[in-house]
Amino acid sequence: MKKYLLAFGVAGALLLALPALAQTAAPAGLYQALGEKPGITRLMDDFVNRVVKDPRIGNHFKDTKPAALKESLTDQVCQLSGGPCKYEGADMKSAHADMDINKGHFNALVEVLQASMDAQGIPFAQQNRLLALLAPMHRDVITLR
């Protein structure tokens, strides 16, 4: 039931996210709830290790250096969650412009992230808080409509 509710919530957030949500500040305490930078680093290590092997979307990462991706995602999630990190990577639209990503790919990525958060013991409520911050990015990541 938990997975169904989470998937429904993610799908709803991805499809119905309001533009204002992208401007929302990080929820109070999310950075701490994710384990601060060490916890976010572990989460992104797990996530990248899974996503590059995922048969649905792993091919999108064949030319990506996993270590660089882990570092960039760690900084991005750290900053988004209210931590002291500074993400200096490309904006999402530029980074994904030539990747031919459709909704199915994006949803698979979210599923892999959920599996990583489960594996890292991140509570359901904190997972939803992070997903709510990431959801508005779908507009820039999905390049095939």
Burial status of residue 141 (CB atoms within 10 A of its CB: 0-12, 13-18, 19 or more): middle
* pTM more than 0.75: yes
- The residue-averaged pLDDT of 62-66 equals 92
CATH number, domain 2-17+36-141? 1.10.490.10
Domain spans in the chain, listed from the N-terminal domain onward: 2-17+36-141
The pLDDT of residue 79 is 96
Are 132 and 23 contacting, i.e. CB atoms less than 8 angstroms apart?
A: no
Please check the confidence at residue 8 and state whether its pLDDT lies above 60: no
